[in-house]
Amino acid sequence: MTAPGDEVWDVVVVGAGAAGCALAARLSEDPWRRVLVLEAGPFPSSAAAFPADALDAATIAGAGVGHPLNWAHDATLREGRPYSLARGRVAGGSTTINGGYFVRPRRADHEVWAGLGGREWSREACLPALERLETDAQYGTDALHGSSGPMPVTRAPIGPDGSGGTAGAAAFVRSARAAGLPFEADKNSEQPIGVGPLPMNLRDGERWNAALAYLLPPVGVAAGRPNLELRGETTVRRVVLRREGSRAGTPRAVGVEVVRDGVVSTVRAREVVLAAGALATPVLLLRSGVGPRDELVAAGVSCEVDSPRVGRGLSDHPQVQVTWLDGSRPPQQRVPSMEVVVNTAVGEAGDEVEVLPLTRPMSELLAGPGADAGSGTGSGAASTAPGTPRRLTALVALQTSRSRGRIRLVAGTGEPEPRIDLGYLDDARDRAALRAGVRLTAGLLCSPAFDGVVSEVLPDEAVVGDDELLDAWILDHLGTALHSCGTAAFGGPSAVTDGVGRVNGVDGLRIADLSIVPTAPRRGPALTAVLVGERVSDFMRSGR
């Protein structure tokens, strides 16, 4: 390993995902604070330097297994169910490869977080940051919204009768409303939950990731600042801890060990902030010797700080795909992968489920920008002949899962390797709620709003009507919404972090990503990740 250089950064941010981009931009508003952002993946210099499929909102090609911008973490959804977890390996993180879903957490989420991390996470305390981060195309001038923030927010022009969207989106709106669900025009407000257009982080029809919004030309709010350096293709291996000269023997983070172009070196910092995401941040802590002592010793890692909750409490949204043959006319123009979303409570406990219909077949969405809007072509190969019904998908997710997963290190032939177990559906109440979500979706698809359009819904009526058969179908088709949170959650002294993101037991080390959020929000967490970056920047700038 090369000797540490003389240069010491005021703050090193590890990870240029949604939270890290927001954090770095806000911290570097102080021209005297020198901020370095380290990203394992590429750091394009501008919007024009991103691959086409990273900007095209009509595809999610970057989430495909084998795509160079996808980490594709090996994991298990539950025992015996291996899965590859898509995460963005590029500036902007998963906001560069996801569907563009950009919805605020609900007040109920804030109440849970405030109960564990303090009033800093209440809806009222977070509202200024929620307004500050957005430019809302439809509601920016309304109370509770923003009109001049970095992240663009827009929606398809869908009305309460379904007008303004694709044929499928219109039918979902009509079907949900006929089932008694209210029309939720603005899902980033506190209207009663129901069906409505999906807020998305799009700009001029392109997926506008957090790096473009906060850091990069042509419009990034921090683009070109001399006190902000962006360094891609740099893998952080661990946080460097020192005890000498620290208070009462408490270790202090003094930098990070990195690998770039095959060379190992140390980047020194007065403060290190981990923003690598809910899957990678706990692994960095564990490899740095911060975690459950017994597990670290078993993995061959020297324990610096015994922190039993590192990697525990992983909260996420289990998901299945309900599919059908759709005979409606495909959209003639390229449209975003999502337009409307249904949110509702099910069962006596009021668990929330989400139904998110996709505008095109999944194979098309993963094919990249070479796909034709009507025929489902990718790389010039047609997937469906004209006039042939297309198999479309609705993503059905449980938004209030009680089951929890974990991340740990295990000894290997070389470096200890992470093991990710999402622990899905361990709680019987989760299985019952997801059953209810599938039944709700099948009922919507079989309503008069879809007459003459929908056929061959899977699971079929026989499976949907039988608890045992439906449970078996769900386990066979189980997937994930890729919304992991809570693996370094904030809370009291025994938690991994405190309410302002400081790692308990280590000086000079914070976390600013979804790993500190104790429970996955009732909506997709991309906006929440940006919010975390904004809030931790507030805490740091105020000296907390």
479 backbone φψ class: left, alpha, beta (φ>0; ψ -120 to 50): beta
Task: Report the DSSP beta bridge partners of residue 38.
Answer: 14, 231
506: pLDDT strictly greater than 70: yes
> What average pLDDT does the segment 518-533 reach?
99
Whether 483 is catalytic? yes
**Does 389 reside within a domain?**
yes
Classify 135 as helix, strand or coil: strand
431: pLDDT strictly greater than 90: yes
DSSP string, 75-101: EEEETTEEEEE--B-STTGGGGTS--B
Residues 467, 328 within the same domain? yes
**pLDDT higher than threshold 60 for residue 343:** yes
Please report which helix (H) or strand (E) contains residue 36, including its range: strand 35-38
CATH of the domain at 177: 3.30.410.40
Could you tell me whether strands 81-85 and 252-260 are parallel, antiparallel, or unpaired per DSSP bridges?
unpaired
Q: Is residue 303 assigned to a domain?
A: no
pLDDT at 6 over 60: yes
The whole-model pTM stands at 0.95
Domain presence at residue 16: yes
Of the candidates 230, 142, 231, 229, the one whose C-alpha atom is nearest the C-alpha of residue 186 is 142
pLDDT at 457 over 90: yes
151 and 221 within one domain: yes
Res. 324: pLDDT tops 90: yes
Same domain, 140 and 59: yes
Question: Is the pLDDT score of 382 beyond 70?
Answer: no
Q: Please return the burial class of 32, using the count of CB atoms within 10 Å of its CB with bins 0-12, 13-18 and 19+.
A: exposed
pLDDT score for 379: 32
Strand partners, 70: 88
45 class by beta-carbon count within 10 Å (0-12 exposed, 13-18 middle, 19+ buried): middle
471 and 494 part of one domain: no
Percent of residues in the chain assigned helix, strand, coil, to nearest 5: 25, 25, 45
Residue-wise pLDDT tens digits, 206-225: 999 999 999 999 999 999 99
- What is the band of 384 on the pLDDT scale with cuts at 50, 70, 90? low
Instruction: Please give the average per-residue pLDDT across 39-50, as a whole number.
Output: 97
CB of 238 closer than 8 Å to CB of 288: yes
For the segment 148-153, the average pLDDT, to the nearest whole number, is 99
Q: What is the pLDDT of residue 4?
A: 46
pLDDT of the residue at 348: 86
- pLDDT for the residue 371: 43
Pick from 1-5, 86-90, 437-441: least confident:
1-5
Identify which of 465, 170, 103, 501 has the alpha carbon closest to the alpha carbon of residue 339. 170
Within a domain: residue 414? no
**Which two structure tokens, joined as six digits, stand for 382?**
């047609």
Same domain, residue pair 1 and 97: yes
In a domain, 77, yes or no: no
The answer to whether residue 176 is domain-embedded is: yes
Instruction: For residue 368, name the pLDDT band (cuts at 50, 70, 90).
Output: low
Q: Which residue has the tokens 């000296």?
A: 543
Q: Is residue 80 in a domain?
A: no
From 454, 477, 500, give the residue that closes a domain: 477
Confidence of residue 376 (pLDDT cuts 50, 70, 90): very low
Same domain, 94 and 12: yes
Same-domain check for residues 236 and 142: yes
What was the pLDDT predicted at 269? 99
Tell whether the model's pLDDT for residue 381 goes beyond 70. no
Catalytic residue among 67, 110, 317, 483: 483
Q: In whole angstroms, what is the distance from residue 232 CA to residue 77 CA?
A: 31
Size of the chain, expressed as the number of residues it contains: 544
CATH number at residue 62: 3.50.50.60
**Confidence (pLDDT) at 497:** 99
Same domain, 378 and 268: no
Predicted confidence (pLDDT) at residue 52 exceeds the cutoff of 60: yes
In the prediction, which pLDDT does 332 show? 63
Q: Are residues 56 and 98 in the same domain?
A: yes
Report how many domains make up the chain: 2
pLDDT of residue 334: 80
Quote the percentage of the chain above a pLDDT of 70: 94
Integer Cα distance of 381 and 375 in angstroms? 9
Can you tell me the mean pLDDT for 317-346? 91
Q: So what's the pLDDT on residue 377?
A: 29
Structure confidence at residue 424 (pLDDT): 99
Domain span holding position 440: 161-197+318-400+426-477
Q: Which residue has the tokens 């079989």?
A: 446
**Same structural domain for residues 392 and 499?**
no
- Helices 428-445/167-178 angle, 10° precision: 110
Helix (H, G, I), strand (E, B) or coil at 132: helix
Of 413 and 49, the structure prediction assigns the larger pLDDT to 49
Q: Is 178 a residue whose pLDDT tops 70?
A: yes
Residues 352 and 433 in one domain: yes
Predicted pLDDT at 389: 86
pLDDT in tens, 259-297: 999 999 999 999 999 999 999 999 999 999 999 999 999
Least reliable range by pLDDT among 186-190, 372-376, 421-425: 372-376
- Give the end of a domain, one of 435, 456, 477: 477
- Rounded Cα distance between 442 and 456, Å, is 11
Mean pLDDT of 8-21: 99
Mean pLDDT, residues 337-361 taken together: 96
Cis preceding linkage at 459, omega within 30: yes
| Token code pair at residue 525 | 């967490």
Residue 415 domain-assigned? no
Helix axes of 123-132 and 107-117: crossing angle, nearest 10 degrees:
120
**148 and 210 both lie in a single domain:** yes
Q: How confident is the model at residue 5 (pLDDT cuts 50, 70, 90)?
A: low
| Structure confidence by residue, pLDDT tens digits, 68-106 | 999 999 999 999 999 999 999 999 999 999 999 999 999
Helix (H) or strand (E) holding 211: helix 210-214
Contact 60, 359 (CB under 8 A): no
